[in-house]
């Protein structure tokens, strides 16, 4: 009987549980941040915000189980963690801002995610063949824009809980944000192993405790939360289907599928079970089906979490059943709102300080990817320069598209969406449609450039949350 591959090995129960919790700790802050951002934009009450957070945990657990355990041709069957992608946050906030009645915002978002998920599921086997059109010059640009686009959210949190309040931006709020940031940095600098891996989570806990004497910490969500609950299907209303929102989420789905493919390729190398086209297609089916089912339980679009890929590399624990155990813990946390409400207690300024690390690490991951993109080639420099410039328009000049129809604003207000489309088109023009007169300026779309890619290994940041 052939020896079982470490990926398929079932560890002793205690080690499996503790290692699974470690994966949850590594991803927890990344899972709860998107519902906090979107929920705050909608104007949800603390209790509703707790419900949305718990729903995201529950949906992330289901998607992780689907990815690790697999069924039929669905699931990569690798130690692959799934959760709410950061890539969808900015477009979802744009949808909220463009929806006259905020009560309709979440149903519109959920409807768009369902359609994008189903289309992605159908496209998965074909997308695994078309990944050559998303080389590092494109994915690196998009990941960088994800991080940069979310930084204003962290800055807003740092200034206080209520933008309309007179003390918004007060020194006490900015001070708490700075303390939270410093705590995270100190933990990262002077600790190691498991403690270092959960630096952001510890920063939130310590920052929250420090904020109590300042009267900033609000325990109402904890006191109002039910001990046991279930994410009632379509709690915020039946899904609604708006064309512009669907297009926006489809763009996010493409970005998400690109990132998941990159994560599967990296993870396959780490666990010494290379991800072939069949594995990638199965993994993308799990991503997209998990995303399509997520809105049923009031969750958002699901994707790979890159920091967990780094955790596998660091711990050398390659069993997919360990990550499946982590998925089980996420489901349990979603079923106990009182646990999910703990994150709602965290003051916005404290979350803002940690958010600078969280969102900044996403941008850093994108820059790391761009380092493999052959930026010594003029064509690729132009692709990155123009795509980032276009993607930054909604941040640098919020009223730039004011003359466009409101339906178009859902897409144009998201620098991630516009930057992604620009990068893909420019990559096709410069690297596919003919060759430059100076052949040395052309980089093959599947290559990162001989000089840089050969010197820097294709290593993903263990800190960047995925998107």
pLDDT digits (tens, 9 = 90+) for 124-168: 998 888 766 778 888 788 878 877 887 888 898 899 888 888 889
Confidence of residue 467 (pLDDT cuts 50, 70, 90): very low
**Distance (Å, whole) CA 183 – CA 178:** 9
- Return the minimum-mean-pLDDT range out of 31-45, 120-134, 333-347, 410-424: 333-347
Beta bridge partners of 71: 74
Give the pLDDT of residue 307.
62
What are 211-229's pLDDT values in tens digits?
998 888 877 767 766 777 7
**Distance (Å, whole) CA 292 – CA 295:** 7
Average pLDDT over residues 92-113: 89
Give the pLDDT of residue 375.
84
Greater pLDDT, 111 or 398: 111
pLDDT value at 463 more than 50: no
The interaxial angle of helices 13-42 and 46-69, nearest 10 deg, is 140
Give the pLDDT of residue 456.
34
Those residues whose C-beta lies under 8 Å from the C-beta of residue 209, and which sit 6 or more positions away, are: none
- CB-based burial of residue 425 (10 Å sphere; 0-12 exposed, 13-18 middle, 19+ buried)? middle
Give the pLDDT of residue 454.
36
Q: Cα-flanking dihedrals φ and ψ of residue 67, to 5°? A: -75, -40
**Distance (Å, whole) CA 306 – CA 80:** 9
Residue ranges covered by each domain of the chain? 10-452
Beta bridge partners of 84: 302
Those residues whose C-beta lies under 8 Å from the C-beta of residue 180, and which sit 6 or more positions away, are: 203, 204, 206, 207, 349, 350, 351, 352, 353, 354
Those residues whose C-beta lies under 8 Å from the C-beta of residue 54, and which sit 6 or more positions away, are: 229, 231, 333, 334, 335, 336, 337, 339, 340, 341
Confidence of residue 315 (pLDDT cuts 50, 70, 90): low
Beta bridge partners of 39: none
pLDDT value at 452 more than 60: no
Over the chain, what is the mean pLDDT?
Answer: 81
With a pLDDT cut of 90, the percent of the chain lying above it is 23
3-state secondary structure of 304: strand
**CA 427 to each of CA 284, 381, 383, 446: distance values in angstroms, whole numbers, following the listed order:** 23, 11, 7, 11
Greater pLDDT, 307 or 366: 366
Greater pLDDT, 413 or 280: 280
């Amino acid at each position: 009987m052939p020896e079982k591959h470490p990926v398929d090995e079932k560890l002793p129960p205690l080690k499996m549980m503790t290692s699974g919790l470690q994966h949850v700790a590594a991803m927890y802050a990344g899972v709860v941040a998107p519902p906090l951002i979107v929920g705050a934009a909608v104007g949800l009450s603390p209790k509703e915000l707790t419900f949305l957070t718990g729903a995201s945990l529950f949906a992330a657990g289901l998607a992780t189980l689907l990815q690790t355990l697999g069924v039929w041709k669905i699931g990569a069957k690798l130690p692959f963690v799934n959760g709410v992608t950061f890539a969808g946050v900015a477009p979802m906030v744009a949808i909220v801002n463009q929806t006259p009645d905020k009560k309709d915002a979440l149903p519109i978002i959920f409807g768009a995610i369902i359609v994008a998920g189903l289309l992605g599921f159908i496209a998965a086997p074909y997308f695994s063949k078309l990944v050559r059109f998303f080389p590092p010059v494109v994915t690196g640009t998009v990941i960088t824009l994800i991080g940069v686009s979310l930084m204003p959210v962290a800055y807003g949190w740092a200034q206080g809980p209520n933008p309309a309040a007179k003390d918004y931006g007060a020194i006490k709020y900015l001070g708490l944000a700075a303390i939270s940031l410093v705590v995270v940095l100190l933990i990262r600098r002077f600790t190691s192993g498991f403690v270092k891996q959960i630096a952001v989570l510890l920063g939130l806990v310590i920052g929250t405790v420090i904020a109590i004497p300042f009267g900033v910490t609000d325990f109402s969500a904890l006191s109002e939360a039910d001990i046991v609950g279930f994410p009632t299907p379509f709690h915020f209303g039946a899904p609604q289907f708006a064309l512009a929102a669907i297009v926006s989420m489809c763009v996010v789905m493409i970005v998400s599928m690109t990132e998941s493919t990159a994560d599967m390729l990296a993870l396959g190398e780490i666990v010494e079970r290379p991800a072939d086209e069949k594995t990638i297609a199965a993994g993308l089916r799990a991503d997209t089906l998990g995303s399509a089912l997520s809105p049923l339980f009031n969750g958002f679009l699901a994707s790979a979490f890159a920091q967990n890929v780094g955790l596998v590399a660091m711990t050398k624990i390659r069993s997919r059943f360990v990550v499946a155990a982590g998925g089980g813990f996420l489901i349990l946390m979603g079923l106990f709102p009182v646990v999910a409400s703990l994150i709602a207690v965290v003051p916005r300024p404290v979350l803002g300080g940690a958010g600078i690390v969280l969102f900044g690490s996403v941008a850093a991951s994108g820059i790391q990817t761009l380092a493999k993109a052959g930026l010594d080639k003029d064509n690729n420099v132009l692709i990155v320069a123009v795509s980032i410039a276009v993607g930054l328009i909604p941040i640098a000049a919020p009223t730039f598209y004011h003359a466009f129809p409101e339906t178009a604003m859902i897409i144009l207000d998201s620098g991630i969406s516009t930057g992604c489309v620009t990068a893909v088109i420019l990559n096709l023009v410069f690297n596919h449609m003919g060759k430059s007169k100076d052949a040395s300026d052309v980089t093959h779309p599947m290559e990162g450039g001989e000089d840089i890619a050969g010197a820097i290994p294709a290593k993903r940041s263990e800190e960047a949350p995925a998107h």
